[in-house]
């Protein structure tokens, strides 16, 4: 089973919601729920038949930028612009 939260600014627009419903509805075994107040979509599937790249491409097709909740920003990953906070 896979569970995923995706933030996409502008998701609550009616045309984006309709497009997303058409795209995600075509993926077998994928269930989703949209939080329109916060532009977040919760995805869940028992079968891992879809990749993060495929999910991202669905959002890109609708001119939405998918940000996976829990994803580390590239600046933080590089650790060149960040420092460790120690007590």
Q: Tell me if 11 is assigned to some domain.
A: yes
Give residue 46's domain range: 2-78
Question: What's the structural domain count of the chain?
Answer: 1
Looking at residue 73, what is its pLDDT? 60
Q: Tell me if 84 is assigned to some domain.
A: no
Q: Tell me if 24 is assigned to some domain.
A: yes
Total residue count of the chain as it appears in this document: 87
The CATH code of the domain that includes 46 is 3.30.70.100
In whole angstroms, what is the distance from residue 21 CA to residue 69 CA? Answer: 20
Looking at residue 37, what is its pLDDT? 92
Looking at residue 82, what is its pLDDT? 62
Model pTM?
0.75
18-76 confidence digits (pLDDT tens): 999 999 999 888 999 999 999 999 999 887 678 889 999 999 999 999 999 876 566 55
Looking at residue 70, what is its pLDDT? 73
Q: Tell me if 86 is assigned to some domain.
A: no
Q: Tell me if 83 is assigned to some domain.
A: no
> What does the block give as tokens for 2?
């896979």
């Amino acid at each position: 089973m896979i569970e995923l939260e995706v933030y996409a600014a502008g998701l609550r627009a009616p045309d984006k919601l309709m497009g997303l419903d058409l795209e995600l509805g075509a993926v077998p075994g994928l269930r989703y729920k949209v939080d329109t107040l916060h532009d977040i979509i919760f995805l869940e599937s028992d079968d891992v038949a879809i990749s993060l790249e495929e999910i991202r491409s669905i959002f890109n097709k609708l001119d939405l930028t998918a940000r996976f909740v829990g994803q580390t920003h590239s600046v933080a990953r590089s650790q060149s612009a960040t420092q460790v906070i120690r007590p």
